[in-house]
Amino acid sequence: MPAPLVVQKFGGSSLADADRIRRVARRIARERAAGSDLVVVVSAMGDATDELLALAHGITDDPDSRELDMLLATGEHQSATLVSMALHALGLPAISLTGPQAGITTDGRYGKARIANIEPRRVQAEIEKGKVVIVAGFQGLSGDTAADAEITTLGRGGSDTTAVALAARLGADRCQIFTDVRGIYTADPRHVPDARQLPVIGYEEMLDLAGQGAQVMQARAVELGWVNGVVIEVLSSFEDAPGTLIKEDPFVEQRNKVRGLAHDRNVAKVTLVEVPDRPGVAHAVFAPLADGGINVDMIVQNVGHHGATDLSFTVPEVDLARAKRILEPVVRDLGFREMTTDSAVAKVSIVGAGIQNAPGYAARMFGALATAGVNIEMITTSEIRITCMIAEDEVETAVQALHAAFELARPDDVTDAADAGGPTASAVAS
């Protein structure tokens, strides 16, 4: 019988220095000793990606996106080689590969490339030679020939996606995401002290939490796991403790409550004041943003008066300067009064499959925010989520008030029965 194949991913904080890299190597060695074949995906060490970004911005405000991806990919090259060396030091055969060497190809969108395909021959050949294969996460190769081959990166948190994609392509028996918390919690444990770890969460709920700012998993990784039926285990690299399983959740219909909260500070609001109220204006505003690859999220258009209306929407904070540049000529041509922007805003969201079947969640959310003195500036909903935009400096107050209002610290009767009295955020190692 072939050995089970395990894909393990280690995040930046798990690899922040030589001691931590040696600890990760010992964990890999343990799994190897238990008889598994291993593909290990690594992120850049600690804050290396932020430091590389800062280096680029020290040179220019607007670094070329191709050169930036070439630069950012080196963070993961570095950590992959060091983990491989740490395994050699333990007497374990290992080899580090870049994303391109691992056969990962992508589309050509620098900074937010999507994986197009994985040609796994090299990885499989190294496994067959008895090696632990260390793959640099967060990157791939675009282009069809050697003449137009380009290094791309997959967006912040993209090593999660590398890991899940490899697990799907290789038909791995397990896909483990090791991070600096024990698993998925009802809210970010760094901000909500009584956040509770969930033993299981469904793909759909996790996708909405990740999409609304729960950075513990990149949303695209959850999506890939869902489409390919990969069960994703999220667990601590610092302690041996049960993690959280992300998978199809059989209890979802029986539950009738909010599953978790997410918040996102990295948004900015754009308001176009006195927009002419006539057909084609929204298209004229949003089409060039879409062409520029800018994701517009919440959109609110006020009731028109005297032939004009105000249009507000949110964009990722990192794209704000570009969005302004794109919109300036549109504002001029269409005769808006002005464009104002605000980056001191944030989103808070409640997520739960139970929301779609029961009324009253929105009222309860707005009531909790009102009681906490938090003003709501915009609202959007999906079937399983309600999101409010608020002032950025009220995030902490808002998430704590919502966590209490929806009683998220209390174990769920259906899925958490075995977990009552289980681990809490206070036990999280750092």
Comparing CA positions, the residue from 262, 266, 329, 333 lying closest to residue 295 is 266
Least CB distance from residue 290 to ligand ADP, whole Å? 28
Residue 171's region, left for phi above 0, alpha for psi from -120 to 50, else beta, is: left
Question: Residue 216, interface with ligand ADP (CB under 6 A)?
Answer: yes
Q: Which is nearer to Mg ion, 156 or 174 (CB)?
A: 156
Question: Residue 179, interface with ligand ASP (CB under 6 A)?
Answer: no
Question: Residue 424, interface with ligand ADP (CB under 6 A)?
Answer: no
Least CB distance from residue 166 to ligand ADP, whole Å? 16
Least CB distance from residue 114 to ligand ASP, whole Å? 15
Q: Which is nearer to ligand ASP, 103 or 158 (CB)?
A: 158
Three-class DSSP category at 110: coil
- Residue 267 to residues 52, 57, 116, 330, 403, Cα–Cα distance (Å): 22, 20, 28, 22, 22
Question: Residue 184, interface with ligand ADP (CB under 6 A)?
Answer: yes
Residue 149's region, left for phi above 0, alpha for psi from -120 to 50, else beta, is: beta
Window of 12-20, 219-227, 269-277, 386-394 that interacts with ligand ADP by CB under 6 A: 12-20
DSSP state of 360: T
Least CB distance from residue 13 to Mg ion, whole Å? 9
Least CB distance from residue 356 to ligand ADP, whole Å? 20
Question: Residue 158, interface with ligand ADP (CB under 6 A)?
Answer: no
Q: Which is nearer to ligand ASP, 44 or 261 (CB)?
A: 44
CB proximity list for 283: less than 8 A, separation 6 or greater: none
- Could you give phi then psi for residue 138, rounded to 5 degrees? 75, 10
Candidates 46, 157, 199, 423; binder of ligand ASP (CB under 6 A) is: 157
Q: What is d(CA 372, CA 273) in angstroms, rounded to the nearest whole number?
A: 30
HEC sequence for 249-286: CCCCCCCCCCCEEEEEEEEEEEEEEEEECCCCHHHHHH
Report the residue number whose CB is nearest to ligand ADP.
Answer: 11
Q: What is d(CA 270, CA 262) in angstroms, rounded to the nearest whole number?
A: 22
Q: Which is nearer to ligand ASP, 221 or 389 (CB)?
A: 221
Question: Residue 215, interface with ligand ADP (CB under 6 A)?
Answer: yes
Question: Residue 36, interface with ligand ASP (CB under 6 A)?
Answer: no
Candidates 99, 140, 157, 423; binder of ligand ADP (CB under 6 A) is: 157
In contact, 271 and 312? CB cutoff 8 Å? yes
- The beta-strand segments (E) located in 228-364 are 232-236, 244-246, 260-276, 299-301, 308-316, 338-351
Q: Which is nearer to ligand ADP, 216 or 270 (CB)?
A: 216
- Could you give phi then psi for residue 163, rounded to 5 degrees? -65, -45
Least CB distance from residue 17 to Mg ion, whole Å? 18
Question: Residue 137, interface with ligand ADP (CB under 6 A)?
Answer: no
Structure-block tokens of residue 416? 């958490």
Least CB distance from residue 156 to ligand ASP, whole Å? 4
Question: Residue 260, interface with Mg ion (CB under 5 A)?
Answer: no
Least CB distance from residue 192 to Mg ion, whole Å? 19
Binding site for ligand ASP (CB under 6 A): 11-12, 43-44, 49, 75, 137-138, 156-160
Binding site for Mg ion (CB under 5 A): 11, 157
Binding site for ligand ADP (CB under 6 A): 11-14, 43, 157, 179-181, 184-185, 187-190, 209, 214-216, 260
